[in-house]
Chains A and B, each alone.
Chain A
Amino acid sequence: MPSALAVTGVTKRLSGSMVVDGVSLEVPEGSVFGFLGPNGAGKTTTIRMLLGLVRPDSGSVELLGARGSKIRSVLPRVGALIEGPGYVPYLSARDNLSRLLAAEGVRRRDRAAAVEAAIERVGLGSAAGKAVGRYSLGMRQRLGLAGALLRDRDLYILDEPTNGLDPSGMREVRRLIQELAASGKTVFVSTHLLSEAEQFCSHVAFMSQGRLVASGSREELRREFPAEVVLRVSPETAVLSRLGIRVVEADAAWARVAVPEDGLPSAVSELVAGGVSIYGFEGGQRSLEDIFVAEVGEGFDVR
């Protein structure tokens, strides 16, 4: 499958610290690509490099087949929400969106229809004439999405699209992304909410501290990180470590250990033979969070 977006060995140092460190990834056309990582992992800087806002120190970016200075010529085919909405607070939503179209070279008389359609699509109709400075956080986020949806694009780059939205707003965004994907568009969506990515991404990539730690289609990741069963057992730590079984958590009364699903029968007999009591099973499919923890060795939180 041709890629809508390809990044090769991209590195960026900002005020002395390595923000993005040798990241390579490929976003296949028509995919919903989840770009995942905790806050501060380098996602936004990477996105800024994709769009030509930040110049990489090394490495290259290819956007819809264009590289370097040619990227500008494909920008009209890209809708973007970059690190939250950014609007002139004393202008109305309509004027702000019209200004974005102006930057695309659309004549004033040709703008109204696109502006109204985008406003309707994100449910801002009644507030469209109000100065954006008086909008709530959720309304601003909707306006940000309206900007990305202003015209029909081939690729949508959405950075944290559900930020500041209430649960029903989040649902709408999920539906929107699914609609875009269903119509054959490529959606590159960054989020720190893994549960969100579980719901709509066909591909994912994990960032942690500026590095890409894992990436691939959900299928590939499932193969690479096979399902595990978690057992609740008595905390015989010596036996567990002799058998090489991974302990998820342990206290004085219990231990929770993880074994691969296909190795379950042998693990159970080894545990029983070693005198470990088994009290319960949980398990099955590994969540994205499990994969992240397995790969990075720590939880998905801000450092």
Chain B
Amino acid sequence: MFADELRRVYRRPRNLVILLLVAVVPVLLGVVVKVGGGPRHGGGPPFFAEITQNAVFLPVAALASMEALILPLSVAIVSGDALAGDAANGSLRYLLVRKLGRVSVLNAKAVSALVFTLTIAAVIAGVGLVLGFILFPGGQLITLSGQAVSTLTGVFDVVLAALLVGVSMFSVAMVGLAVSSLTSSSLAAASIALTVAIACEVISAIPQLSAIRPALLSNYWGSYVDLFRSPMVLGGVFKDLLEQAGWSALFYAIAVITFSRRDILT
């Protein structure tokens, strides 16, 4: 079932367009910076100023620029479609009158959504890395701590960063899945998941609400930056992983409970 669900996700034209569009961002970013020159140091999102210095900063800058909106949006669209899409086209009822049962179907869809989430991050990092090496110098790079490390270490850091940014979206994916288990409208599910993600980001910008900030699912989204220090600072990374695990587990549980009880009328 899992393989078949993956096939459904990766054949969905809408999802392929998402992969194509997220691939365009590092291309755009690389070309613009190459032609127009990067911002002065300290300007723009994290790593923008460093793009011209070394190839490996292009994928990181691309991930950084997309983490606030485009990534949660893409993930919300895919995960919101997980159950609602099949409910809308009518195939969900046929899957559920078979032996496998509701929770197994839900699991296949949950894992597929997470795999696709990682794919999105991988596409951005992959395209960014390849283009980075075409447009910008390779060789040793200077980490945020000011030390020089080898290119290979830099590439390794990019892979880790992409993985971390992907995992950071898991909570959004599970919110999408939970809402998707309640509706036959993918659009509604995607919108609500995106709204939750953005609400978290907005709340974290309000100083008076700083007390609840650590509980927000977006609170440690910036932690990948610490991977580019030497040695790496992993406190924020672990907090992010914990945050993602907690929220994902909660919304997965909600999805299981609502989906196993719901009347399937479409």
Contact = CB atoms under 8 A, between A and B. Distances in A.
Contacts of B100: 102-105
A53 B94 CA distance: 10
Interface of B: 1, 3-4, 7-8, 11-13, 86, 89-101, 105, 261, 263-265
A272 to B, nearest CB: 58
A88 B84 CA distance: 12
A262 B115 CA distance: 74
Contacts of A64: none
Contacts of A103: 1, 94-96, 98-100, 105
Interface in A61-98: 72-73, 75-76, 78, 80, 82-91, 95-96, 98
Interface string A93-136: 00110111011110010000000000000000000000000000
Given A75-B99, A102-B3, A108-B3, A147 B8 contact: no
24 contacts: A14-B263, A48-B263, A52-B97, A53-B265, A54-B265, A55-B261, A55-B263, A73-B99, A75-B98, A75-B99, A76-B98, A82-B93, A82-B97, A85-B90, A86-B91, A86-B94, A87-B90, A88-B86, A95-B11, A99-B8, A99-B95, A100-B94, A103-B99, A104-B98
Contacts of A95: 4, 7, 11
Contacts of A78: 97
A91 B97 contact: no
Given A86-B91, A91-B11, A105 B99 contact: yes
Given A48-B263, A86-B92, 8 more contacts: A48-B265, A52-B97, A54-B264, A76-B98, A76-B99, A83-B93, A99-B95, A102-B3
Contacts of A105: 1, 99-100
A208 B7 CA distance: 43
What secondary structure prevails in chain B residues at the interface with A? helix
Given A82-B93, A98-B4, A102-B3, A72 B264 contact: no
Interface residues of A, number: 34
Contact of B90 (A51, A84, A99, A100): A84
**Max count, chain B CB within 10 A of own CB: residue among A55, A87, A96, A102:** A102
A89 B95 CA distance: 15
A86 B4 contact: no
A78 B263 CA distance: 20
**Max count, chain A CB within 10 A of own CB: residue among B4, B11, B92:** B4
Contacts of A72: 99, 101
A76 B98 CA distance: 6
A85 B91 CA distance: 8
Listed from nearest, the 9 A-B pairs whose CB atoms lie closest are A86-B90, A103-B98, A53-B264, A102-B4, A54-B263, A99-B4, A102-B1, A51-B97, A103-B100
Contacts of B89: 86-89
B8 A91 contact: yes
A55 B264 CA distance: 9
Contacts of A80: 94, 97
A72 B94 CA distance: 13
Contact of A90 (B13, B90, B264): B13
A53 B96 contact: yes
Nearest to B104: A103
A88 B8 contact: yes
Given A86-B91, A87-B89, A98-B4, A14 B265 contact: yes
A104 B105 CA distance: 11
**Max count, chain A CB within 10 A of own CB: residue among B92, B93, B97:** B97
Contact of B98 (A55, A100, A108): A100
A87 to B, nearest CB: 5
A100 B13 contact: no
Nearest to A157: B97
Contact of B94 (A89, A90, A108, A147): A147
A186 to B, nearest CB: 16
A104 B98 CA distance: 5
Contacts of B95: 99-100, 103
A82 B93 CA distance: 8
A102 B105 CA distance: 10
